[in-house]
Amino acid sequence: MTHDNDDHDDDEVTGEEDAPREEASAARFAPRQPKRKMPYIKFCGFMNAREAKTAVMIGADLIGINFWPGSPRAIHFKLGRQIHEAVKAASAERGGKRPARSVAVMVNPEPELVIEILREVEPDILQFHGDEPAHVCRYFRHPFIKGFRAKGAGDFQLIQPYLGGYAVGYLLDGAAPGEYGGTGKMVSPAVATDLFQRLPRGFLAGGLAPNNVANLVRQTRPYGVDVASGIEVRAGVKSPELMAEFVREVRAAVENPLNI
């Protein structure tokens, strides 16, 4: 199954051809809703190259591979390289304007670990998901995403110094004491909406699943969405059906932003 995540160029069907002449005339002068872009879809925590390829063909833009030892989805470098290569091959096969990318996820890594991952795995993007300061994220001169445990409006001052340069985005995850993501705890939609409006390129994570992602995309209008457990049958084992449903729901939120 293939799924192209390029933005739609076609106008939505309005049904004007069936409307009375006066209504059709008025409709032509009615203001159009601004077209929303398809958020980037990041599926995270892959432990199998075949599943990563399936995810890309279904519609994922970013494939997360975890190198934090504290995660049940942590993998070794050799498997990480296999998944990275599978993502590249699937992206070429899928085509489209958005090439799929691999993302190496780490939590408070030593610099030597990051350098080794860059050498052995060659991920397209690094994701720092701990308490790393901005200068550490930039030190490697490689595209990165910085994860944050969202707490409130004060997060603006925390996130802003990380943006620009090699930063390709930031990610809001649910806050849980002593945890670094994967808790299923959701970010307050009000907090996410405020931050996404003020700071560009924000990803929404934390507790996302096919049954809630459409409403959350409509509410918060993120640059991207991130999910792991919401598309799994168990930790690290992805469900093709749930992945496909997740992509459909994100697309539905873009194509029908008012949910009517």
Residue 125 covered by a domain: yes
DSSP 45-73: ----HHHHHHHHHHT-SEEEEE--TTSTT
CA distance 159 to 156: 5
Residue 57 covered by a domain: yes
Query: Mean per-residue pLDDT for 38-55?
Result: 98
Residue 16 covered by a domain: no
Residue 114 covered by a domain: yes
pLDDT at 260: 80
CA distance 74 to 47: 8
For residue 155, what are the β-bridge partners?
A: none
Band of residue 175 on the pLDDT scale cut at 50, 70, 90: low
Answer yes or no: is pLDDT of 240 > 80: yes
Residues contacting 231, CB < 8 A, separation 6+: 43, 209, 210, 238, 239, 242, 243, 246
Residue 70 covered by a domain: yes
pLDDT at 5: 54
> For residue 42, what are the domain limits?
36-255
CA distance 196 to 204: 9
Residue 150 covered by a domain: yes
**What number of H helices and E strands is found in the chain?**
9, 10
What's the predicted TM-score (pTM) here?
A: 0.85
Find, among 220, 210, 206, the residue nearest to 252 by Cα.
Answer: 210
Query: Mean per-residue pLDDT for 203-228?
Result: 97
CA distance 107 to 69: 9
Burial (0-12, 13-18, 19+ Cβ within 10 Å), 38: buried
3-state secondary structure of 101: strand
| Number of domains into which the chain is organized | 1
Residue 56 covered by a domain: yes
The CATH number given to whatever domain includes residue 136 is 3.20.20.70
pLDDT digits (tens, 9 = 90+) for 6-28: 543 333 322 333 333 433 433 34
Residue 31 covered by a domain: no
